[in-house]
C-alpha cells in the first residue's frame, strides 16, 4: 500500500515553496539592516564613561576613497569602515532618500561611472543642502559603512 505525503518535507507543490522563499527574503532583509545599521543596543546599560573623546575624522577625497575600495575592498574596509571620515568631492547628485532623509553622491572622478561616494543625511540638513548644486565642491564628515554594489556608503551623524 502506497502512502501519500501531504507534508511540505516530501516536496509539496501547494505553497510551501512560497513560504520558504518569503522566509528567506525576510532573513535577508534583517541581515541587510544589521549590516548597515548594526546593533545599537538600545536599552542596554553601559559602564562606559559619560564623556568619550571626540573621534578625529580621517581626511580623504571621494576619488581616493572610491579608488581605495576599487583596488582592494578588504584593505579599504580595514582602514575606513566604521571610521569617521571627512570626505571632499564634487557633487554628482542630490536627492531625497527612499525612506526619508537626503542623499548626496560625490563623484569618483571617472566619467560615466555608477560609482562614487553615497552619503545619507538626515532631514535636518535640508536647509543647507537646499543651497547646493550639482557640480559644487563639498566636504562632509560622515561614518563609512563600506562598499555597497557600486558605491562607497557613508552616513552623516
Question: From CA 1, how far away is CA 58, in angstroms rounded?
Answer: 73
pLDDT at 108: 94
pLDDT at 112: 86
In a shared domain, residues 29 and 92: no
* pLDDT band of 139, cuts 50, 70, 90: very high
What is the pTM for the complete model shown?
A: 0.66
pLDDT at 52: 62
Domain presence at residue 3? no
Domain presence at residue 85? yes
CA 102 → CA 2, 50, 120, 128, distances in Å? 62, 30, 6, 11
Question: From CA 44, how far away is CA 126, in angstroms rounded?
Answer: 32
The whole domain housing 27 covers 13-37
Element housing 35 (H / E): helix 16-37
91 and 104 in contact (C-beta within 8 Å)?
A: yes
In a shared domain, residues 70 and 111: yes
Mean pLDDT of 94-108: 92
Domain presence at residue 44? no
Q: Which are the contacts of 150, defined by CB distance < 8 A and separation ≥ 6? A: 114, 115
pLDDT at 50: 58
Domain presence at residue 70? yes
In a shared domain, residues 29 and 97: no
In a shared domain, residues 20 and 92: no
Question: From CA 68, how far away is CA 60, in angstroms rounded?
Answer: 10
| 3-class SS of residue 67 | helix
* pLDDT band of 80, cuts 50, 70, 90: very high
Provide the domain count of the chain. Answer: 2
In a shared domain, residues 23 and 66: no
In a shared domain, residues 69 and 33: no
Amino acid at each position: 500500500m502506497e502512502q501519500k505525503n501531504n507534508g511540505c518535507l516530501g516536496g509539496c507543490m501547494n505553497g510551501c515553496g512560497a513560504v520558504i522563499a518569503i522566509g528567506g527574503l525576510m532573513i535577508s532583509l534583517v541581515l541587510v539592516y544589521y549590516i548597515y545599521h548594526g546593533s545599537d543596543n538600545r536599552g542596554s546599560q553601559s559602564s562606559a564613561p559619560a564623556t568619550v573623546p571626540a573621534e578625529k575624522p580621517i581626511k580623504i577625497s571621494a576619488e581616493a576613497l572610491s579608488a581605495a575600495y576599487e583596488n582592494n575592498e578588504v584593505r579599504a574596509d580595514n582602514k575606513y569602515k566604521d571610521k569617521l571620515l571627512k570626505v571632499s568631492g564634487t557633487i554628482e547628485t542630490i536627492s531625497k532618500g527612499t525612506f526619508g532623509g537626503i542623499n548626496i553622491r560625490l563623484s569618483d572622478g571617472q566619467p560615466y561611472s555608477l560609482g562614487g561616494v553615497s552619503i545619507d543625511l538626515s532631514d535636518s540638513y535640508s536647509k543647507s543642502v537646499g543651497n547646493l548644486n550639482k557640480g559644487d565642491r563639498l566636504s562632509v564628515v560622515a561614518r563609512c559603512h563600506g562598499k555597497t554594489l557600486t558605491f562607497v556608503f557613508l552616513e552623516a551623524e
